[in-house]
Amino acid sequence: MKIHTLHSWKRYLSKSDFKKLLHYVENAKNGLVNKKMLMFSGSGKNGKTTLLNEILFYVNMEKCYEYDISEDDFFDNIDKKNIIIHGGVEKVNKDLIQDMLENDMNIFCDTSFLDFVDPDILPQTTIINMKHVF
C-alpha cells in the first residue's frame, strides 16, 4: 500500500481528524467540492501553517489561490478553486467566505483564536484541532 504524502501528520491528529484531512485534500486535488471549509485550530507552534503549506504543494500550487488578508478583499480577485488562507481567518469577511463556498471553492485555513472567528461561518466549517506542540 502506498503511503500518502501527508501520512506524517497521522501521529499528530486524532484518527477521525486525519481521515477528514485526507478526504478534504483528496477532493481538492481531484477537483471535487468539499462544501465546507477546513480550518486548523490551535495555539502556536503546532504545525498549522506548515500543514497548509504541505497541502498547497500536494494539491498543486497552480491550482491554488493563496489569500492574503492584507491585499485581497474582493471575491472578483480570486480565480482558483482551491483557496489557502494563511492566518487571519478571523478578519475575513463572512460574505466573502459565503461567496467562495457558494462558488464551489475548497477553502483551507487556520486560526489560533477560534473564539474570534465569526460564529456565522462556523456551521460551514470542519475544524481540526491541532494539539501537538513542536
CA distance 109 to 51: 10
Determine if the pTM surpasses 0.75. Answer: yes
Residue 60 vs residues 72, 73, 95: alpha-carbon distances, Å: 21, 23, 27
- Across 32-41, b (16+ Cβ under 10 Å) vs e yields eebebbbbbb
**CATH number belonging to the domain at 12-115, selected among 3.40.50.300, 3.40.50.10170, 2.30.140.10, 3.30.70.3340:** 3.40.50.300
Boundaries of every domain in the chain? 12-115
Residue 48, burial from CB neighbour count under 10 angstroms (0-12, 13-18, 19+): buried
User: What are the mean pLDDT values of the chain's consecutive 10-residue runs (134 residues total)?
Assistant: 86 96 96 95 91 94 81 68 84 85 92 92 95 84
